[in-house]
Structure 1
């Protein structure tokens, strides 16, 4: 599959992805990409986020490929049970946020994750039902690599260790993230349309 053969749905995490974040850059540069917009990026409600992902997948005119980051990955994991069979060709899941251990998360852009997880905990551990790739860094402050590997196994996803890359966001130097784009292209190439 090529990017033009899919509706690439960008699913940002908590606080959204700013203009320099790799997700925003991909959205601007991939003609078939669109962001799944959430009503509240600062106090996210799981059910609302899941409903918006489901609506975006339902509205897709080509096979959907989800490109999620951080809390967006967890929202995708919750959405899978509500998605119509065969509508999602695959999911590229970057730096999942371990909401079960959110009390250890650092401050992000002056915001602290409240103790109430907005319904996102516990992390769902059911198979996704479509091909997926989980990419995480060894030093991600929002999720240990052991937990990310546990998620990948439970979801039936392949796992990639991207090394020392923090939360794989523009704050950790991954605005353009060319290696991620290469990995995404390879992932797309392995999907069936």
Structure 2
């Protein structure tokens, strides 16, 4: 899969991804990448975030791979259950990193309007990366979301929320998971060709 023929769409979570975040590093490194820009990163509203993701996907001339983090993962799940068939077909796969469990007891109030989390399988290949010490989603909850979404799931040891606070600024090893997802996408394309 040639990266030049793919549009990488970065889907940040709550409060966005600052310049030191791995998503920002990846945006600088990956050819043909862009970021979903939400109007309000501090007070996210599910309908607005999903609509902006839909607009960003619809405006791409190339097939899209979503690179989502935290609340961005939940936004992808909500988008997938209500997107049109034409728009869904544009997405070839999704890398879902450290999904935020907006149904957990200690979830920040600003994120609660994203609950409940859709439990339907995503209609494209996905790879979910969680951590065994992520305060936003336990390892068991990440596995459950992965199972419900039909995602291949990997739980990292001691990776926290896989963000700048947990030391994941460049997250070069994360590219291995992106390549693994792209291999899954190619396998699916070959099976359906």
Partner of 1:114: 109
Give SS of 2:67's match: strand
Aligned equivalent of 1:104, options 103, 106, 109: 106
Partner of 1:190: 184
Larger RCO of the pair (alpha carbons < 8 Å, separation 6+)? 1
Is this contact kept in 1: 2:102–2:111, CA < 8 A? Answer: no
Which is worse superposed, 149-158 or 76-85? Answer: 76-85
Matched, 1:54 2:80: no
Q: What CA deviation, in whole Å up to 9, does each residue of 1:65-87 have, x standing for no partner?
A: 00000000000000012142411
- TM-score by length of structure 1 reads 0.91
Paired residue total: 184
Is this contact kept in 2: 1:12–1:68, CA < 8 A? Answer: yes
Shift of 1:3: 2.2
Shift of 1:184: 0.9
Partner of 1:41: 41
Unpaired runs of at least 5, structure 1:
106-112
Shift of 1:115: 6.3
Matched, 1:146 2:140: yes
Unpaired runs of at least 5, structure 2:
none
Q: Distance in 1 between matches of 2:23 and 2:57?
A: 18
The 1:52–1:142 alpha-carbon spacing in structure 2 relative to 1, beyond 3 Å, is: same
Shift of 1:10: 0.1
The 1:189–1:5 alpha-carbon spacing in structure 2 relative to 1, beyond 3 Å, is: farther
The 1:3–1:121 alpha-carbon spacing in structure 2 relative to 1, beyond 3 Å, is: same
Q: Distance in 2 between matches of 1:92 and 1:159?
A: 10
Shift of 1:12: 0.3
RMSD of the alignment, in Å? Answer: 1.4
Q: What CA deviation, in whole Å up to 9, does each residue of 1:4-24 have, x standing for no partner?
A: 221100000000011010000
The 1:59–1:166 alpha-carbon spacing in structure 2 relative to 1, beyond 3 Å, is: same
Shift of 1:116: 6.5
Partner of 1:166: 160
Shift of 1:2: 3.0
Is this contact kept in 1: 2:69–2:96, CA < 8 A? Answer: yes
- TM-score by length of structure 2 reads 0.91
Partner of 1:80: 80
Q: Distance in 1 between matches of 2:30 and 2:183?
A: 15
